[in-house]
């Protein structure tokens, strides 16, 4: 495997794990980046830009190779970026986390939702993981249609808000700032930090994003369970389950390679980033980044990773831990250490930060497996990172 990029001395185990991801764990195109104390120490990429890249008769790739600036959809890793928008508005005194959502969004109070607080939205405790009337792909591209659907929805039960999280966060940003969430993230987060990430991919950057798709994980994925437990599999297969309904809030799910989908701002699912952009974003949450701004104050950082909810998740059917918008280190989402916080993307991508070690991590891939919160490829890289420290 021809791996491009650099690693600082001592971080060679990350490179070894990255190579093994291609040789053993089925990666086709991917990148990983790590920052330590605001300085990039790992910057690796390999494979093809498109997941369906094949080899010609001479063994050369017949699709474009992955380059340093190649970006990919990161699915739910987008949620960590979206959470930062609300936390920054709170940090600036424009949003009260303990205020009812209806204080900023009066129509939200319909159907008995008067007591849902802003912090409930961030910690997946708003009780709105499903839509009784799912949106079509065309409807989902209109952020106002998504917000209106959530507005009409009556609360059901607590659990991971796989898709509705985006409309909740996006509408709060719009109500408070008057700007769309994608524009706000571009101007207030990605721009100041110097991070290559977008929620709503601009036409000028469209050529950087590769084709993504499903890949099959090897049967023995490095000793980690690559197939879900029976209870989890049954929940995803049951059309009436909270799990299936949460992930079916858009039905059928849009083509993730459709330019219209990529250009829309869906802050739960369709963020597009480079590995460096994702790692750089998390580095900016915990400290000063070389050439970029620090986003979170010490107080905001503490709030982001303070446990807000924990235990059995009615949607994911596993035990989860959430702070304000971020998954916390645990069995469902292993990061680097106890104080780490971040967010995986279903099928592979991962971004997180660990303030105690000064580490920020980003991994993106064009090949999505069936994993939800702990992809074997991302976890192999985390183990390599742990061995480097």
Burial of residue 252 (number of CB atoms within 10 Å: 0-12, 13-18, 19+): exposed
Of these residues, 63, 76, 123, 388, which one is catalytic? 76
Q: How many CB atoms lie within 10 A of CB 22?
A: 18
- For 86, the 3-state DSSP assignment is helix
Instruction: Decide: 209 and 51 in contact? Cβ < 8 Å.
Output: no
| Distance between CA atoms of residues 104 and 236, nearest Å | 34
| Distance between CA atoms of residues 44 and 157, nearest Å | 41
| Distance between CA atoms of residues 74 and 279, nearest Å | 12
In the block, which residue shows the tokens 């090949």?
Answer: 367
Residue 176 has φ and ψ, to the nearest 5°, of -80, -40
* DSSP H or E run through 237: helix 230-237
- State both tokens at 376: 């074997």
DSSP code of 203? Answer: G
Instruction: Decide: 44 and 2 in contact? Cβ < 8 Å.
Output: no
| Distance between CA atoms of residues 150 and 115, nearest Å | 15
| Distance between CA atoms of residues 337 and 263, nearest Å | 35
* DSSP H or E run through 42: strand 39-47
Residue 388 appears among annotated catalytic residues = no
Half-sphere exposure of 294 (CA within 13 A, CB side): 11
Half-sphere exposure of 22 (CA within 13 A, CB side): 20
Between the alpha carbon of residue 207 and those of residues 67, 72, 331, the distances in Å are 12, 11, 37
| Distance between CA atoms of residues 383 and 118, nearest Å | 35
Catalytic positions, written as ranges: 76
């Amino acid at each position: 495997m021809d791996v491009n990029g650099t690693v600082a001395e001592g971080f060679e185990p990350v490179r070894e794990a990255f190579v093994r991801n291609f040789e053993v764990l089925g990666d086709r195109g991917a990148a990983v980046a790590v920052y330590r104390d605001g300085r990039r120490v790992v910057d690796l990429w390999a494979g093809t830009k498109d997941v369906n890249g094949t080899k010609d008769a001479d063994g050369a790739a017949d699709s474009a190779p992955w380059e340093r600036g190649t970006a990919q959809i990161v699915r739910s890793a987008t949620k960590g970026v979206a959470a930062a928008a609300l936390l920054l508005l709170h940090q600036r005194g424009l949003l009260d986390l303990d205020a009812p959502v209806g204080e900023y969004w009066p129509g939200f109070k319909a159907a008995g939702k008067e007591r849902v607080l802003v912090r409930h939205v961030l910690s997946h405790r708003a009780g709105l993981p499903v839509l009784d009337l799912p949106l079509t792909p065309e409807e989902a591209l209109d952020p106002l249609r998504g917000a209106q659907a959530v507005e009409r929805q009556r609360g059901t039960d607590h659990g991971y808000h796989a898709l509705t999280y985006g409309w909740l966060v996006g509408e709060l940003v719009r109500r408070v700032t008057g700007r769309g969430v994608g524009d706000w993230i571009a101007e207030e987060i990605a721009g100041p930090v110097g991070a290559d990430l977008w929620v709503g991919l601009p036409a000028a950057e469209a050529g950087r994003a590769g084709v993504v798709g499903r890949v099959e994980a090897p049967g023995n994925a490095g000793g980690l369970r690559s197939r879900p437990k029976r209870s989890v599999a049954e929940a995803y297969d049951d059309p009436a389950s909270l799990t299936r309904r949460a992930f079916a809030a858009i039905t059928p799910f849009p083509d993730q390679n459709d330019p219209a989908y990529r250009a829309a701002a869906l802050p739960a699912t369709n963020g597009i980033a480079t590995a460096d952009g994702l790692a750089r974003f998390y580095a900016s949450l915990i400290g000063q980044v070389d050439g970029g701004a620090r986003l979170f104050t010490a107080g905001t950082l503490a709030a982001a990773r303070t446990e807000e909810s924990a235990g059995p998740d009615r949607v994911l059917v596993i035990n989860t831990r959430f702070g304000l918008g971020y998954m916390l280190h645990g069995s469902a989402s292993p990061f680097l250490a106890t104080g780490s916080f971040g967010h995986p993307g279903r099928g592979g991508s991962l971004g997180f930060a660990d303030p105690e070690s000064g580490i920020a991590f980003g991994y993106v891939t064009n090949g999505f497996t069936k994993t939800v919160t702990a992809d074997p490829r991302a976890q192999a890289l985390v183990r390599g990172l742990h061995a480097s420290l």
